[in-house]
Amino acid sequence: MTYQSNLLQHKTVLVTGGTTGIGAAIAARLAALGATVTAAGLPAPAGTPQPPASVRTVMLDVSSDDSVKTVVGSFDTLDIVVNCAGVIRRQAELDPEVFAQVVDVNLVGTMRVCAAARDRLRSAQGCIINTASMLSFFGGGLVPGYSASKGGVAQLTKSLAIAYAADSIRVNAIAPGWIATPLTQTLQDDQGRSAAILERTPMKRWGTPEEVAEVAVFLATPAAAFMTGAVVPVDGGYLIA
């Protein structure tokens, strides 16, 4: 146990995209530390590991203003918001229409949630943790929508950190590298692509959602009280290699 088990007791948390992958791991970890956690997202595919029973789950479509306002409006208070909702449409993103859909979910969806939650976070002097990516820093020839949106999330994080500082709201982001999730399953299954990824990664392995969750927890705690506008890589050294 890295942190005290009651570290986040009495904290209320919303995790978008919290029903699968990295979002689910973050939701579970925050709940294990005593927080009251709601994981909001679309239904997870059959067979996908679900958040524990201690995590409440609700439907949320971050591409819908009404859906975001309904979910955020259901909270009396919010201490922590984690934006993990995201999609990737490899190769199809070269079509401008698909490109726009991906950007709408990953980038505009993040902004929708941040804006809707601002008043509640102000009251709690809370924090936001966004999900950027290694593709915030690199281009991706088959995923221009995903890359552009994640680059945007990094810049949005920095911009909102400035805009929300007067409200005592910290805004940071995690930037996961190659993490073993359903989103990267195609790459994990491609022996050649996986080998190339591991060859460049100094730690020579795929990361786990739980390892990303630990960094998100740090950003949510008083240990990061003087951090805002940071985009923190969680990538086994891929970015520096």
Residues with catalytic function: 146
Q: How many helices (H) and strands (E) does the chain have?
A: 8, 7
Q: What are φ and ψ of residue 75, in 5° steps?
A: -95, 135
Q: Report d(CA 134, CA 111) in Å as an integer.
A: 20
Tokens matching residue 168: 């005592």
| Torsion from C-alpha of 10, 211, 189, 109, nearest 10 degrees | 40
Name the one residue in this structure whose structure tokens are 């970890």. Answer: 29
For residue 84, give the nearest of 33, 34, 28, 122 by alpha carbon: 28
Tokens matching residue 4: 């005290």
Q: Are 179 and 173 in contact (CB under 8 A)?
A: no
Handedness of CA 127, 132, 134, 139 (dihedral sign): negative
Question: DSSP readout, 52-107?
Answer: PTTSEEEE--TT-HHHHHHHHHT-S--SEEEE------TTGGGSHHHHHHHHIIII
Q: Report d(CA 49, CA 125) in Å as an integer.
A: 32
Q: Are 86 and 106 in contact (CB under 8 A)?
A: yes
Q: Are 55 and 70 in contact (CB under 8 A)?
A: no
